[in-house]
A and B are shown apart, each in its own frame.
Chain A
Amino acid sequence: MRPLSLALTAQRARDGTDALTRRRVLIAALFLGVFPWLMPYKALAINVLIYGLYAVGFNLLYGYLGMLSFGHAAFFGTGAYGCGIVVARWGKPWFLAIPAGVFSAAVVALAIGYLAIRTRGIYFAMVTLALAQCVYYVFFQAESLTGGENGLRGVNVRSISLPGVSLNLLRPTTKYYFILFFVVVALWIVSRILASPFGAVIEAIREREARARACGYNVAAFKLITFVVSGALCGLAGALNAIHLSTVPIESLVYETSGLAVIMSLLGGTGTFFGPFVGAAAFLLIQDLTALWTEHWQLIAGAVYMIFVLFFPRGIWGSVLEWLYR
C-alpha cells in the first residue's frame, strides 16, 4: 500500500472521510459539553453557542459556496422575531415557536436568495445588504407585532416540560444545555450536508462555477438551496437568542449584526467546519475581556481583528489546520 500523502490527509479531512472529520460532531458536542466551565460566566458561553451557530450558518454560504452575504442579520432577526412573536404575542409553546422562527427565516431567505443569486461578488454583497435593510424596515414599522424600535418584550420561556422532566430555564446551566441540544443537531445536519454529494458540488461551484455548470449541475438551484439552508440555520440561532434573552432587540436586524457573521467567520477561518465557532468564541471573549479592562474596548478589539486578518488570513482554526496538515 502507498503511504498516505499529506495532501491526501487534508483532502480526506475536506471530504469528510478521515476519522477525525467523521467524528467532528461528536467532538464538538463533547467540547461544548464542558465549555461553560472554561468560560468566565455562563451567559457568555450561551452567547458563544448562539453566535457560533449563526456564524456556522453564514459560513455554509460564504466559506463553502463562496458567496459573501452582507445581509444575514435578516435571517437571524427574522428567526428571532418569528419565534418571539409566537411566544409573546400568540402565547404558543417553545416547540412551536422555534420551528416557526426557523421556517420564517427560510421563507425570507428564499425571497432574498431568489433575487440575489443572479449577482456575484460585491454586487451580491450589496443586494443582500439592501434587501436585509428592507426586512429591518418592515419589522421596524410593524410595531403592533414587533414592538418597533423598543424591540419585542416578553418572550418568556421559563420552564420546559418534557415527558418525565421539567427544565428550569432560569438556571443558566440548564438553559445552556437546552440551547446546546439544538446547536448540536444543527451541527450534525451541517456536517452531513458538507460530506454529502450536495456538499461536494457547492465546493466545486466555489472553486469554478463555469466548470461545475459544464459538469451538468444547475448552479442557480444549488446556490438557492444553500442560501435557504444557510438562512434557516441563522434563523435557528436567532430563535434561540430570543429565548435566551426573553426579548428580541431591533438590533438583531441591523447591518452590524450582518457584519458580525462576516467578522466571526473570518476570525475563525472560513470554509472550515469548526472555524466559525472558534471565531465566535474568540470574538466574544475579546469583546468581553477588553470591555472589562477599558471603556475603549472597541479600539483594542478592532486592533486585534486587524492583526488576525493581516497575519492569519486563514483565521485561527484555519491556521491550526494548516499547521496540523503540514
Chain B
Amino acid sequence: MSGDVILSTIGVTKRFGRFFALRDVTVAFNRGSLTSIIGPNGAGKSTYFNLLSGALSPTTGKIFFEGRDIAALPQHTFAHLGIAKSSQITSVFPELSTVENVRIAAQARRVRYNFWTPRARYIELIDKAQALLEVVGIAHRGDLPARALAHGEQRALEIAMALASEPRLLLLDEPTAGMSPVETRTMMDLIAGLAAKRTVILVEHKMKLVMGISQRLVVLHHGEIVAEGTPDEIRGNDTVRRIYLGGRKF
C-alpha cells in the first residue's frame, strides 16, 4: 500500500479570524494514487484544497511537495512546480475562445515575457490546446468563446487548462458540482482516465460518487480528519456513517 509520497501536509491549521476552518491536518498522498477528500458542507474541504493549490497559506503547519516546503510560496509558482487545479467555482476566461483559454494555460510554461513574437507563431501551443480539448471531449467547441459553453463543458475546459501545465499533481474541487447525471458520469469517467497517468486529489461532498474510483479517502468534519482509509474501510466506519450520512446506509 505504501509508496513514494508526492504531497504531505503536517499539522496544518487554517484560521479565519478566530474560526478554525482546519485544525491540525496531517495527511500524506502517494504518487500515482487517486485520493478523495470528502465531508459534509462546510467541513473545510475547499479550504484544504486552497492550501494545497497555493490560493491560501496555512496559519501554521507545513506542506511538502516532492520534499519541498511549499506552504509560503506565491500561487503563480505552483503551476511551475507541477501542481494544477480546477476549483469549485468555474474559473475560465469567458470572452476568450475555448481553444485560446487552453493555449494561454499551455503558454505559461513555454513563453511568458515575450512582447514581440506573434503568439500564433507558437503553433505547437495551439496544437497542444486542441489536443487537450480532445482529451476532455469538447474539441468541437474550440472556436466558441468560453462563456458560450454549457456548464459541464466549462468544467471540462477548466480541467483541460489544468492539464496544459502538465501537472504531476492534479487537484479537483467538486468537478461535478451543478452537473446533470449524464454530465456527472462523463466527468467521473474522464477523471478515472486522468488518474491512470498522474496523482489526483479529488474533493467531493457526494461520497457515493467517489467510492468507485478512489484508492483512498480522507474524511473531514469541522476542520478535522475523522477517518482515513480505503473505500471499504470508510464504508464500514461508524463515525463516518454517523456524521456524514446521518446514520443512513450507503
Cβ < 8 Å to A, chain B residues 83-112: 84-85, 87, 91-97, 100, 103-105, 107-109, 111-112
- Nearest to B158 among chain A residues (CB) is A211
Residues on B with beta carbons closer than 8 Å to the beta carbon of A16: 118-120
- Contact A7 B143, CB 8 Å, known A17-B120, A196-B119: yes
Residues on B with beta carbons closer than 8 Å to the beta carbon of A215: 79, 104-105, 108, 161, 164-165
Residue of A8, A11, A199, A216 touching B119 (CB-CB under 8 A): A199
Residue of B85, B96, B113, B119 touching A207 (CB-CB under 8 A): B96
C-alpha spacing A198/B165, complex, angstroms: 17
- Contact A214 B85, CB 8 Å, known A17-B120, A198-B114, A208-B94: yes
Query: In the complex, are the beta carbons of A214 and B97 less than 8 A apart?
Result: no
Q: Is A171 interfacial (CB 8 A cutoff)?
A: no
Q: Is B250 interfacial (CB 8 A cutoff)?
A: no
Q: Size of chain B's interface in residues, with CB distance under 8 A?
A: 44
- Nearest to B79 among chain A residues (CB) is A216
Query: In the complex, are the beta carbons of B118 and A203 less than 8 A apart?
Result: no
Q: Is B2 interfacial (CB 8 A cutoff)?
A: no
Cβ < 8 Å to A, chain B residues 136-164: 143-145, 148, 161, 164
Most buried by B among A196, A211, A218, A225: A211
Query: In the complex, are the beta carbons of B165 and A216 less than 8 A apart?
Result: yes
Residues on A with beta carbons closer than 8 Å to the beta carbon of B164: 215
Residue of B100, B109, B113 touching A216 (CB-CB under 8 A): B109
- Nearest to A216 among chain B residues (CB) is B79
C-alpha spacing A200/B97, complex, angstroms: 12
C-alpha spacing A15/B95, complex, angstroms: 12
Q: Is A178 interfacial (CB 8 A cutoff)?
A: no
Q: Size of chain A's interface in residues, with CB distance under 8 A?
A: 32
Query: In the complex, are the beta carbons of B100 and A8 less than 8 A apart?
Result: no
Q: Is A42 interfacial (CB 8 A cutoff)?
A: no
Query: In the complex, are the beta carbons of A201 and B104 less than 8 A apart?
Result: yes
Q: Is A217 interfacial (CB 8 A cutoff)?
A: yes
C-alpha spacing A311/B79, complex, angstroms: 43
Residues on B with beta carbons closer than 8 Å to the beta carbon of A7: 97, 143-145, 148
C-alpha spacing A14/B203, complex, angstroms: 36
Query: In the complex, are the beta carbons of A196 and B91 less than 8 A apart?
Result: no
Query: In the complex, are the beta carbons of A11 and B145 less than 8 A apart?
Result: yes
Most buried by B among A7, A211, A216, A225: A216
- Nearest to A195 among chain B residues (CB) is B118
Q: How far is the CB of A192 from chain B (nearest CB, A)?
A: 5
Knowing that A16-B119, A196-B118 touch, tell me 11 more A-B residue pairs with CB under 8 angstroms: A15-B120, A196-B114, A200-B107, A203-B95, A204-B93, A210-B91, A214-B75, A214-B76, A215-B108, A216-B109, A217-B76
